[in-house]
Amino acid sequence: NRNGTLRNFRRRIRNRNTRIFRRVEREKADVSFSRAILSPEAGYVRKREHLYYQILISPFLSYEENVNGTRTISKGADGELLGIGGWDSAFWKLGLEAGRGYQRLDRNGFLFAGFLNYGEVSFLWKPLGLSFSGIAAQTNGSVLYTERDRNESPARISGGSIRFGDGPIIQNFRIFYYLYAESRQEAVKGDLFRESQPFRPYGRYAYYGFEFSSGSFEGFRFDSDAIAVSGSREYGTDAFRSYQTSRSTSAGFAGGRIVWEREEASYFLGGLFFSKDEELRTDRNSDGYSGIRTDLRGYGGKTSFLLSQSLLLQEGTVFPPDGTSKRPDFENKGMGLVQAGARKTWDSRWTLQGILLSSSSPLGRGWEAVAVGGYESEYSYILMSLSYAKVDPQKQERFLFEEWRKKAEDKEYARIYLSAGAYF
CA dihedral 241, 243, 246, 247 (to 10 degrees): -120
| Cβ neighbours, 10 Å, residue 10 | 10
In a domain, 377, yes or no: no
With respect to residue 63, please indicate whether it lies within any of the assigned structural domains: yes
Torsion of CA 327, 331, 333, 335, to 10 degrees: 30
Q: What are phi and psi of 166, to 5 degrees?
A: 65, 25
Q: How confident is the model at residue 57, as a pLDDT?
A: 96
pLDDT at 56 over 50: yes
What percent of the chain lies above the pLDDT cut of 90? Answer: 45
Q: With left for phi above 0 and alpha for psi between -120 and 50, is residue 10 left, alpha or beta?
A: alpha
How sure is the predictor about 281, in pLDDT bands with cuts at 50, 70 and 90? Answer: low
- Lowest average pLDDT, out of 74-78, 158-162, 237-241, 367-371, goes to 237-241
| pLDDT for 26 | 40
Q: H/E element holding 386? A: strand 380-392
Instruction: Collect contacts of 393-400 with beta carbons under 8 A, ≥24 apart.
Output: 393/363, 393/364, 394/364, 394/365, 395/364, 398/20, 400/13, 400/16, 400/17, 400/20
φ, ψ of residue 142 to 5 degrees: the values are -95, 160
Mean pLDDT within 349-354: 93
pLDDT exceeds 70 at position 12: no
Q: Domain range spanning residue 114?
A: 32-335
C-beta of residue 336 within 8 angstroms of C-beta of residue 272: yes
Decide: pTM greater than 0.75. Answer: yes
Q: Give the pLDDT of residue 386.
A: 93
Residue 110 confidence (pLDDT) above 50: yes
Q: Is residue 353 in a domain?
A: no
Asked if residue 229 is part of any domain, the answer here is yes
pLDDT per position as a tens digit, 14-33: 343 333 323 333 445 567 78
Q: Which residues contact 111 (CB under 8 A, 6 or more apart)?
A: 105, 178, 207, 209, 227, 291, 292, 294
Predicted confidence band of residue 13 (pLDDT cuts 50, 70, 90)? very low
At 353-408, the pLDDT tens digits run: 999 999 988 888 999 999 999 999 988 999 999 999 999 987 777 766 666 777 77
Mean per-residue pLDDT of the chain: 83
Dist. CA 258–CA 284, nearest whole Å: 38
> If you write DSSP's letter for every residue of 213-238 in order, what string do you get?
EE--BTTEEEEEEEEEEEEEEE--SS
Q: Is the confidence at residue 288, as pLDDT, over 80?
A: yes
Amino acid at 153: S
The count of domains in the chain is 1
% residues pLDDT > 70 (the chain): 86
**Under 8 Å CB-to-CB from 347, ≥6 apart: which residues?**
none
pLDDT band at 276 (very low <50, low <70, confident <90, very high): confident
* Predicted pLDDT at 316: 47
Domain presence at residue 207: yes
Q: Which of 4-8, 332-336, 388-392, 420-424 has the highest mean pLDDT?
A: 388-392
pLDDT in tens, 126-165: 999 999 999 999 998 788 888 888 878 889 999 999 999 8
Quick check: is 243 in a domain?
Answer: yes
pLDDT in tens, 81-92: 999 999 999 999
Closest to 296 in 3D by CA, of 322, 265, 317: 322
Say what the pLDDT of residue 16 is: 37
Report the C-alpha gap between 187 and 155 in whole angstroms: 17
